[in-house]
Amino acid sequence: MIVVFVNIFHIAPCYSLPSREDFFNNALDLSTRGKFNLALQEWNRYLDFYPDDAAGFSNRGNVKLVIGDVEGSIDDQDKAISLNPNEIDPYINRGIAEEALGLWSQAKKDYMVAISKDTKNVSALYNLANVEGSTFHWAKARDLFSKAAIYNPGFAMARSSLALADYQLGNIDKSEEELKKLIRRYPTFADARAAFTALNWSKGQSGLAESNWIAVTELDPRYSDEEWLIKVRRWPPKPTKDLMNFIDLK
């Protein structure tokens, strides 16, 4: 699943114009509040005044990605990286945009650069795991999801993805154990409940499958959409097939 992060960068201290911080923060506020068209206009204005600010380009690139200008997003992340090659976030942001175009090898390279700079960067690890899964390397994906979950135990989606990777690899007991923990900790977490529905159904536990699915349909109806499940959420093939079989009563 493509995860878009509107990253907050610190403003370089070498600039001392009194209005610059307010200018930057206003554009960032529009971005975080989902006013993307207005945010794009504000980032454009900001970068007219400060064309050498890597943070501005990277944040504008995030906005462009959200509104569908993927190539423009990549261009902005390229500029951010050229201005500040040591900053990690533009590599991650460019990787997310590359994933949107199915450019798996390019995205993988960017995530690996980010990880080389910070081996515990959870966003890079999680997104690289998604790339490995999308290219059917589920054992590699499983290890990366595991690292992301270890470095951030509260990252529920990483833990759910780990359980799904174990499901795909046939580690059913591990998958079931993790999903039970997640549901106990986050009872309204639709992803874990949907995965548990599929697992219950595959084991012939139709009653448990039904009870979990009732919760899923109330929480997030997208899980009944196979295309969304595979292309957006990036579920593995086996749990996806089992969930669709449950829905179709096969």
Quote the percentage of the chain above a pLDDT of 70. 93
Q: How far is the C-alpha of 192 from the C-alpha of 203, rounded, in Å?
A: 16
Cα 238 to Cα 160, 168, 204: the distances in Å are: 15, 6, 15
**Stretch 170-195: mean pLDDT, rounded?**
97
Q: How confident is the model at residue 183 (pLDDT cuts 50, 70, 90)?
A: very high
Model confidence pLDDT, tens digit, residues 119-152: 999 999 999 999 999 999 999 999 999 999 999 9
Would you identify the CATH topology of the domain 138-250?
A: 1.25.40
Mean pLDDT for the stretch of residues 11-26: 68
The pLDDT assigned to 155 comes to 97
CB burial of residue 248 (10 Å; 0-12, 13-18, 19+): exposed
State the pLDDT confidence band at 87, using cuts at 50, 70 and 90. Answer: very high
**Assigned CATH for 1-8+16-118:** 1.25.40.10
What's the whole-number average pLDDT of the chain? 93
Check residue 8 and give its pLDDT: 43
CATH 1.25.40.10 residue window(s) in the chain: 1-8+16-118, 138-250
**pLDDT tens digits, one per residue of 201-247:** 999 999 999 999 999 999 999 999 999 999 999 999 999 999 999 99
Q: 19 falls in which pLDDT band (50, 70, 90)?
A: confident
Does the pLDDT value for residue 17 go beyond 60?
Answer: no
pLDDT at 89 over 50: yes
Q: Tens digits of per-residue pLDDT, 56-66?
A: 999 999 999 99
Selected residue with higher pLDDT from 16 and 126: 126
Residue 163: pLDDT over 60: yes
* Distance separating alpha carbons of residues 76 and 242, to the nearest angstrom: 41
- The model's pTM is 0.88
pLDDT mean over 37-44: 96
